[in-house]
Amino acid sequence: MRKIEIPWESFAVSLISLLIGFLVGGIILAAVGVNPLRAYAAMFHWALRRPGAIFQRATPILLTALSFAVAARANIFNIGAEGQMYLGALASLYVAVKSGSALLGALAGLVAGMGYASIAGFLKSHRGVNEVISTIMLNWIAFFFLDYSISRYLADPSRPWRSVKVPVGARIPYVGSFPLSFVVAVIVSIAMYFLLWRTSLGYDIRAVGLKPKAARYGGADVKKITLLSMSLAGVAGGLAGSMIVQGQSYYIDIPLSVMYGMGFDGIGVSLIGRNHPLAIVVSALFFGVLMVGSHGMQLAVGVPREMVTAVIGIIIIALAMPEAIRMIRRRLR
Amino acid sequence: MNPTIFLLSAARAMVPITLAAIGEIITERAGVVNIGLEGILLLSGLFSAVVSLATNSILLGVLTGVFVGLAIGALHALISVTLRGNQIVSGVGINTFALGFVVVVLISLYGSYGQTPETPPIPRIPVAGGSISYFFIATLIIGALAWWALFRTKWGLRLRAVGENPTAADAMGINVFRIRIIATVLGAMLTGLAGAYLVLDYVGYFTKHISAGRGFIALANVVFSNWNPLIALLGGFLFGFFEALAIYLQIIYLSPSHQYVLKMIPYIATLVIVSIAMKRVRPPAALGKPYSRE
């Protein structure tokens, strides 16, 4: 078996971007009158005492990050994990409630996510529609479709602002405070890694991503690869929804607050993991720490949890300029 | 429903989508793509509210919105043009940052998670059946000006050359980097103006959901227009029409679950319109590709 190489350069870029994120975040904290060190200390202190919560928080964003990463390998900028996750959650909820089976529920989520993502894949491969536009529109359509479906067909009669619950037999259980849904997410990561690096389809996907023209001369069907990689992305995106509804919340509320934004969080997770399925596991756990810790920060210094989102945004902006980071590295040497 | 009121409502809805699209057309014609429009709308909208609330001046609020656009445009230009970074990633970062940052500012200034107090009243032009915003008139003028500048001036020719074939443009002595930076900043300023309109005129206060995908609908409008500001005016009206239609139907159909279906209308319409238009349009050849002289 081939050795897994660790790309130190990518690792350094991610690390420096994280530092920039925390640094600029610290300046913002100081500007609103909060001691940044106290805020960050409260964040990590709170999170690290709650490992179960970290794994729980990391699970869906690990899967939505995989959705982004697989498409990104084919040079598709899939920001539709949010919508794939919504549809996956709805399908899982429906099937889990009707069948009482955890496996069937998860399968339904997987298929729903795959089908939804392939709409954007098809529009790109056959109509040339930019995936950024189509996936964002599909996200909004899915959002209101869930609101509609839940209020009309799946509402809990005693609490109409949310759906009925997944029956106990169709839930993905916990061992102590550790969610088994996290194991599912890690298995999907490993599967995606093997698919991308150890199969000919994976080779074609990466070839199309790196050099579409050369790949075409090499015999790859670019349209088919585009469609396939979006469908694969949808598998992960849909499962994110399944894991939330079958493994964490057990219901969906009307403004979707049990999952809102977790598809977008996956973009940052994937970018920091340099779109590598195994590195994404680590970056998802790191995001889990930030997100769980944001509660502690809010309690300790009164800064809203969204501060973490702002920091993640700065990290992403920093990740967009590896050239600048390389310059910084040269100076430091 | 009275058709005049309906048309006025579409005219109100079209302004932000159109202004941001015209800005993005200028940016993309020079070869730079900025998908951070959504974030610019949020940040410029928020600070235009903050300043107009603090000074009680609408004009200062509008100027602030444009200035915030300028600042983010400069950042995006630095990353995309000077540092040859990934333009899409930068845009996503801007959007993500805005999403979190606006809440931090809302809490620290107003102690509110969701919205600012109402901004000062804005003057409008009264017409039969309602009123027209000065921003609407400005949008039409800006659209026409942008078309003229892009297609009828030497500056526009150079800008388009930079977006089509930067190497050739460079060989002819055109400063590719400078033109791309100017186009990126200018485009973001127009989106900043759109954000100020959204808050000060269209809604009357800032909420953290105020952009509601309009930055992306503007990107769709750019494609629809085939990178032409005059057609973007038409596209903006079309997208605005569907927004107004959704609002109008929501007033008629009071059943809450049907309201959700109606809210999908602008997004489905956008998807369908872009899918149809896409076969007929041609993006600038060097769009999204950083230029390097090496």
CATH number of the domain that B186 lies in? 1.10.3470.10
Residue B293 lies in a domain: no
Least confident piece of the model among A220-224, A245-249, B159-163, B168-172 = A220-224
Q: Three-class SS of residue B275?
A: helix
Q: How far apart are CA B113 and CA B133, in angstroms?
A: 29
**What is the largest distance, in Å, between two alpha-carbon atoms of chain A?**
65
Residue type, A304: P
ipTM for the predicted complex comes to 0.93
Confidence of residue A20 (pLDDT cuts 50, 70, 90): very high
- CATH number assigned to the domain covering A8-332: 1.10.3470
Contact status of B93 with chain A (Cβ, < 8 Å): yes
**Residue type for B7, please?**
L
Give the CA dihedral B197, B202, B208, B212, nearest 10 degrees.
Answer: -100
Residue A209 CA to its chain's centroid (Å): 20
pLDDT in tens, B227-262: 999 999 999 999 899 888 888 888 887 777 888 988
Q: What is the pLDDT of residues A108-130, one digit of tens each?
A: 999 999 999 999 999 999 998 98
pLDDT score, position B79 = 94
Q: Which residues 158-217 of A have a C-beta within 8 angstroms of B?
A: none
| Cα dihedral value B93, B99, B100, B103, nearest 10 | 160
Domains identified in chain B, total number: 1
Pick B293 or A84 by higher pLDDT.
A84
pLDDT reported for residue A6: 67
- Which of 216-275 (B) contact A at CB < 8 A? 216, 219-220, 223, 256-258, 260-261, 263-264, 267-268, 270-271, 274-275
Q: What is the CA radius of gyration of chain A?
A: 20
Indicate the helix (H) or strand (E) that contains B48: helix B37-55
Name the residue with tokens 């990178």: B227
Is it the case that residue A1 has pLDDT exceeding 70? no
Average pLDDT of chain A to the nearest whole number: 93
| pLDDT higher than threshold 80 for residue B176 | yes
Q: Examine the pLDDT at B213 and tell me if it is beyond 70.
A: yes
CA distance A78 to chain B (A): 11
Q: Which residue of A has its CA nearest to B34?
A: A132
3-state SS assignment for residue B207: strand
> Is A245 in contact with A251 (CB distance < 8 Å)?
yes
Tens digit of each residue's pLDDT (9 = 90 or more) over A160-189: 899 999 999 999 999 999 999 999 999 999
Predicted confidence at residue B1, as pLDDT, reads 61
Give percent of chain B above pLDDT 90. Answer: 75
Any chain B CB within 8 A of the CB of A27? Answer: no
Secondary structure of chain A: what % helix, strand, coil (to 5)? 75, 5, 20
Q: What is the pLDDT of residue B252?
A: 80
Q: What is each CA distance from A55 to A40, A67, A286, in whole angstroms?
A: 20, 19, 10
pLDDT band, residue A217 (cuts 50/70/90): confident
Please provide the average confidence, as pLDDT, over all residues in chain B.
Answer: 93
Residue B278 at interface with chain A, using a CB cutoff of 8 Å: yes
Q: How far apart are CA A269 and CA A265, in angstroms?
A: 6
CA dist., res. A301 & res. A38, Å (int): 8
Residue B158 has pLDDT above 70, yes or no: yes
Q: What is the mean pLDDT of residues B151-161?
A: 97
Q: Which of A137, A163, A152 is nearest to A256 (CA)?
A: A163
What percentage of chain A exceeds 90 in pLDDT? Answer: 82
User: How many beta-carbon pairs below 8 A join chains A and B?
Assistant: 159
B92-131 burial: b if 16+ Cβ within 10 Å, else e: bbbbbbbbbbbbbbbbbebeeeebbeebeebeeeeeeeee
Query: How many Å apart are CA A235 and CA A219, to the nearest integer?
Result: 26
Residue identified by tokens 């919205």 is B115
B63-108 tens-digit pLDDT: 999 999 999 999 999 999 999 899 999 999 999 999 999 999 999 9
Q: Determine contact: B205 vs chain A, CB below 8 A.
A: no
B94 in any annotated domain: yes
Q: What is the DSSP string of A231-297?
A: HHHHHHHHHHHHHHHHHT-SS-BTT-TTTTTHHHHHHHHHHHTTT-HHHHHHHHHHHHHHHHHHHHH
Cβ <8 Å between A264 and B96: yes
Q: Which domain holds residue B109?
A: 3-116+131-280
Q: Is residue B142 part of a domain?
A: yes
User: Which residue type occupies A211?
Assistant: K
Distance CA B70, CA B101 (A): 18
> In this prediction, what percent of chain B has a pLDDT beyond 70?
99
Distance spanning both ends of chain B, measured CA to CA: 62
The tens digit of pLDDT for each residue in A86-109 reads 999 999 999 999 999 999 999 999
Q: Is A30 on the interface with B (CB under 8 A)?
A: no
What whole-number distance in Å separates Cα of residue A73 and Cα of residue B264?
Answer: 31
Judged by CB atoms closer than 8 Å, whether chains meet at B92 and A267 is answered as: yes
Q: Is the pLDDT of residue B161 over 90?
A: yes
> What pLDDT score does B247 carry?
84
Would you tell me which residues 269-288 of chain A have a C-beta closer than 8 angstroms to some C-beta of chain B?
271
Residue A216 is predicted with a pLDDT of 78
- Determine, yes or no, domain membership for B46: yes
Q: Nearest Cα to A85, choosing from A258, A254, A205?
A: A258
Burial bucket for residue B180 (CB in 10 Å: 0-12, 13-18, 19+): buried
Instruction: Round to whole Å and give the CA distance between B25 and A90.
Output: 38
CB A116 within 8 A of CB A83: yes
What is the least distance, in Å, from the CA of B266 to any CA of chain A?
9
Best residue in A124, A312, A317, A330 for a mutation probing chain B (most B CBs within 10 Å):
A317
Q: Which residue reads 């005129």 in tokens?
A: B201
Domain membership flag for residue B200: yes
Which pLDDT score, from 0 to 100, does residue A135 have?
A: 95
Q: What is the pLDDT of residues A268-301, one digit of tens each?
A: 999 999 999 999 999 999 999 999 999 999 999 9
Residue in chain A nearest B75 by alpha carbon: A317
Q: pLDDT (tens digit, 9 = 90+) per residue, B16-52?
A: 999 999 999 999 999 999 999 999 999 999 999 999 9
Residue B27 is predicted with a pLDDT of 98
* pLDDT score of A3 more than 60: no
pLDDT at A5: 64
Residue A328 banded pLDDT, cuts 50, 70, 90:
low
Considering only CB atoms, B100 lies closest to which of A147, A309, A321, namely A309
Indicate the domain borders of chain A. 8-332
Is the CB of B213 inside 8 Å of chain A's CB atoms?
yes
Q: Please give the average per-residue pLDDT across A251-266, as a whole number.
A: 93
Residue B259 covered by a domain = yes
Token pair 């100020």: residue: B196
- Report the pLDDT value the prediction gives residue B255, as an integer from 0 to 100: 76
Distance CA B76, CA B68 (A): 12
Encoding tokens for residue B220? 């769709």
Measured in residues, chain B has a length of 294
Is the residue at B99 inside a domain? yes
SS3 state of residue A191 = helix
Pick from A77, A79, A127: CB nearest B275:
A127
